[in-house]
Chains A and B, each alone.
Chain A
Amino acid sequence: MGLTILIADDTETDRLILKTIVTKLGHRVVIATDGAEAVELYQQEHPALVLLDVMMPNVDGLEAARQIKTLAGEELVPIIFLTSLTDAESLARCLDVGGDDFLSKPYNATILRAKINAFNRMRMMHNTLQEQRDKIVEHNQYLLHEQTVAKEIFDKVAHSGCLNAPNLRAVQSPFAIFNGDIVVAARKPSGGMMVLLGDFAGHGLPAAIGAMPLSEIFYGMIYKGFSMPEVLAEINGKLKKVLPVSSFCCAVMVDIDFTSKLVKLWIGGLPDCYLYRSCTGEFETLASQHLPLGILGAQKFNADYQLIEMADGDRLLLMSDGVIEAQDESKQFFGVDRLLQVFKQNQQIDSLFNEIRESVFSFIGEPTDDLTMVEVTMVPLETFADEDEVFEVSAARGAQNWSVNFEFRPETLRHYNPIPLVLHCLMEIPGLGLHNSKLYTILSELYSNALEHGVLQMSSSLKHSSQGFSEYYAERESRLQWLKQGYIRFSINHQPTVQGGSVQIRVEDSGPGFNYQQLQNAMDDQLFHGRGVSLLRSFCQQVVYLGKGNCVEVVFAWTND
């Protein structure tokens, strides 16, 4: 491919010789007769290569080279000096001013062609490099822009809670635009507070993507009154589902009750947390007991927590591994010993948080990893009194005060166990999830009594012997098969209370009922051994038979904790 080549020489014969050689090689030639003209022609023609005589009138070759190189900027314009000089000093000067090579007179066509080709290769390589660089720069800017916009969304989702509460302090140092660490805090409808510090494996976008469902679940469930184990289990399940196998979230979650002064603590995969006791000035170490979130399936996930009593003024220090794994220039870790040293030297507990922060930051210089610390202080309940309204206006707290009625008819009774459906409805009540096994038992007992003794009119006396037991169930099956009429009605009422709620379940069947007065007396006499009824009585605050005995009403009262 022919190039445009600028030849600048004040000697006409030299110009002619060069022009002939270069034109023969297939290139286009532009000619200048002195240095000033050379610079001017360079600007007009943008040649790919410049052949420049060293000694020329007006502007000499060296100065012209300087000017051309300045004009070229980032573009590579190879300049080959034409010279009859041969001393090393003069030749070196040609290269010093920015020339790329020199060509001695008399000109040799073979050498000239080789040099033109070599410099053209270099020029093309340079262009490719710059194109790639520009692409990378553009790409990077695009990426940064995307992340900045995404971060705005992220911040709104992740930091909408009560991180500004007076008893909370948090510090985060972002390694990338997105931090792999997340801190979320929310006040519970019952008045307490929950805080979670999470550290996703990795940082940047992948970590932030996991942080989104985490904070959504955290805020959503806590506002609805779900308990810490329920929230943890839900987050774990969600992360297990969305994160790749190699990714997980080390976390610590705290549930603080300012009335009872009890704190529930769950640590999975994070370094030790510390508890400062204001009465003794001592620090207690709280170690991780669980795997990080997002690794185990629902069956194996363990939400067991440590229960700690904290007096007013006691503090919990939670930190991501970025604190003790902070590295200085020589790749040394900040380490637990330095941290404990800061504890030791602390005079005023209120400044401890800042002392740790300063100590870590002055140790590392430039942060290289996500580094997050949270301090939670136990305070008197009154500290929050004026913030209660925040809850009243916040998002729906889920089903709280409602009732629902079901009627199950023969078709259903024959083929279908309606208990999971009813239980599922009840589980929509925030906080009730923890009691689901008791509720299941209660509902099952109520249902089987209504079905067997009510709708199917069977007597439990058959069940007294082991043979009778199987006969009983065979009979039950056959009666069910032929069931043409009858019903079982469930009416459920839920009333929230200060610390939980009260579920009233009334079950009515189409059966003839029974003499419950007699049952009552029998129970008083300790003669009756109906396991079902005594189970109900042990779980429920109240078990009452109504009407002709085909209707029973139980009340299950529950508390949040």
Chain B
Amino acid sequence: MAISTSKSEDGKLTIKIQGRFDFGEHQAFRDAYERISGRPAEYVIDLNETTYLDSSALGMLLLLRDHAGGDEADIKIVNCKPDVKKILLISNFEQLFAIQ
């Protein structure tokens, strides 16, 4: 499984993406945050094992942000590899997400 989800006691939902994050992960990524019970207080996208990220992945992140409350959403993107981080920064996504 390329996408795994875990929820901590304090309501933090962590979504971990392995390998290529592109349109192929569309459904799995949506399932990761739509098919959980309760509203997470915080979302963490762990890209430690993500090797590549394309524009449809950026679109998926926007979908998650919308789902999590838009401007009120608390979403952290963590453990980005340099190449992945570069794509996020080129797109200026740090204005929408906390990128660590």
Contacts and interface: CB of A to CB of B under 8 A. Distances in A.
Interface string A223-249: 000000000000000000000011110
Contact of A292 (B54, B63, B91): B91
Given A202-B55, A291-B96, A269 B91 contact: yes
Contacts of A247: 59
B56 interface: yes
Interface string B54-70: 11101110110010000
A295 B90 contact: no
Contact of B91 (A245, A272, A288, A325): A288
A202 B22 CA distance: 11
Interface string B18-58: 00000000000000000000000000000000000011101
Interface string A249-277: 01000000000000000001111100000
B41 to A, nearest CB: 22
Given A201-B58, A246-B59, A289 B92 contact: yes
Contact of B92 (A201, A246, A269, A325): A269
A290 interface: yes
B59 A268 contact: no
A143 B51 CA distance: 34
B93 to A, nearest CB: 7
B100 interface: no
B92 A268 contact: yes
Interface residues of A, number: 22
A498 B62 CA distance: 44
A245 B62 contact: yes
Contact of A202 (B56, B66, B90, B96): B56
Interface string A273-295: 00000000000000111111001
A325 B60 CA distance: 19
Contacts of B59: 201-202, 245-248
Interface string A320-338: 0100010000000000000
Nearest to B60: A246
Contact of B90 (A201, A246, A288): A288
A248 B93 CA distance: 12
Interface string A417-436: 00000000000000000000
Contacts of A248: 58-59, 62
A272 B59 CA distance: 21
A269 B90 CA distance: 5
Contact of B66 (A245, A287, A289): A245
Interface of A: 199, 201-202, 245-248, 250, 268-272, 287-292, 295, 321, 325
Interface of B: 54-56, 58-60, 62-63, 66, 90-93, 95-96
